[in-house]
Amino acid sequence: MNKHGGYYGAKQDVIDFSVNINPLGVSKKLEQTIVDGIKQIHKYPEIDGKSTIEYIANHYNLKNDELVLGNGAIDLIYLFARALKPKKVLVIQPTFNEYKRAFKLIGSKIYEYILNTDKFELDVKELINYMHELKPDVVVICNPNNPTGTYHDICKMNEILEAVKEINSILFVDESFIEFSNKESLIKYVSSYPLFILRSMTKFFAVPGLRLGFGVSNKNIIAKMNEYKEPWSVNYLSLISVPVLLENQEYINKTLDWYKAEKEYVYDNLKELEAIKVYKSSTNFHLCKVKESNAELLKDKLLKKGIYIRTCEDFSGLDNTFFRLALKKHEDNEKLICALKETARGEIDEHNTCDRWS
């Protein structure tokens, strides 16, 4: 299996900045919904989650046959791969490493278009030229992207959509982190372009333990996926949670307020640290780069202070100088900033100015 964040989540004495989950946690309403739902777990859930699909379709102004539910968003990456069986897949890197695994497992040949670590900016013209040359069956973009936090704007995405249409390809867009960003989703384009959009309930609504995601596409792609879908793949407690999550405007507003305040606080403070470069992010985590030395050493030092970070050496296009920091509650973010400052300062005091975290 691939490396992922979240391994220190269970330890009470470690603040886990490796896992990109809304720290506001589970709302009282959701807790009560699940408690009530326990009375029904002796029954099979709907075999394909029909009622939940109808709810989501209505919420996002989609048709029922444009939606598929997943046992977590990740389930749908694998289902998409199995159902569509693309020969050539182009992945915009660096990005979440499950796309590569999912497509490799079904025998796809993976091509990577690696963005420059300077800003991870997408040169759309160059990408489209490459697409015309390569003619991939599927192009994968995560937007906003994990782990860089970069958001490719709607104009760029539109150009890519036109290009996939021209070359008879499908654009797979993972929007798992879009709710934080207040950015435009591509959902409205699913009926007019060859497009699959992956959405997760896990991150914004803080329910990774439940397993809940959905996919949006045209009815032909969804029908193809349903041919391969396993019955009862989404558990009952996840199915009944959807309306409670999507309708909880108070939770959504609270999250967006937290996000806005903490994003600014953390970014501004990270920017002041000379020893690291922090990248502008459009979502709830920041990619950073240790200017000298490496992130593994920093991870070890921070772990001694009860802070766990996600090093990023396993992402295509990144190396052992990169690490990712999720936004947490204010007091935790304060501790992070403080620990980072101390760590750098400590090294300076030890007269090791050249290699601040070595």
- Residue 329 CB, shortest distance to a second copy, in Å, is 12
Q: Which residues pair with 326 in a beta bridge?
A: 285
Q: Quote the CA–CA distance of 355 and 358 in Å, as a whole number.
A: 5
| 230: contact with a second copy by CB under 8 A | yes
- Residue 36 CB, shortest distance to a second copy, in Å, is 11
| 38: contact with a second copy by CB under 8 A | yes
- Residue 182 CB, shortest distance to a second copy, in Å, is 22
Q: 314 or 319: whose CB is closer to a second copy?
A: 314
| 117: contact with a second copy by CB under 8 A | no
Cis amide prior to 194 (ω within 30 degrees): no
- Residue 66 CB, shortest distance to a second copy, in Å, is 18
Q: Pick the stretch among 59-67, 71-79, 108-116, 319-327 that binds a second copy (CB under 8 A).
A: 71-79
| 262: contact with a second copy by CB under 8 A | no
Closest to 171 in 3D by CA, of 183, 182, 184, 187: 187
- Map the footprint of a second copy across residues 269-288, applying CB under 8 A: none
Q: 22 or 281: whose CB is closer to a second copy?
A: 22
Q: 47 or 348: whose CB is closer to a second copy?
A: 47
| 4: contact with a second copy by CB under 8 A | yes
Q: Which of 100, 199, 229, 263 binds a second copy (CB under 8 A)?
A: 229
Chain centroid, CA 263 distance in Å: 16
Q: 71 or 294: whose CB is closer to a second copy?
A: 71
- Map the footprint of a second copy across residues 9-28, applying CB under 8 A: 9-10, 19, 21-23, 25-26
| 210: contact with a second copy by CB under 8 A | yes
- Residue 293 CB, shortest distance to a second copy, in Å, is 29
| 232: contact with a second copy by CB under 8 A | yes
The torsion region of residue 218 among left (phi > 0), alpha (psi -120 to 50) and beta comes to beta
Q: Quote the CA–CA distance of 343 and 209 in Å, as a whole number.
A: 33
Q: 246 or 273: whose CB is closer to a second copy?
A: 246
Q: 96 or 151: whose CB is closer to a second copy?
A: 96
| 45: contact with a second copy by CB under 8 A | yes
| 107: contact with a second copy by CB under 8 A | no
Q: 117 or 208: whose CB is closer to a second copy?
A: 208
Residue 342, CA atoms < 13 Å, CB-side half-sphere? 11
Q: Quote the CA–CA distance of 115 and 95 in Å, as a whole number.
A: 10
Q: Which residues are near a second copy by CB under 8 A?
A: 1-2, 4, 6, 9-10, 19, 21-23, 25-26, 31, 34-35, 37-45, 47-48, 71-72, 74-75, 78, 82, 98, 105, 206-211, 226-233, 235-238
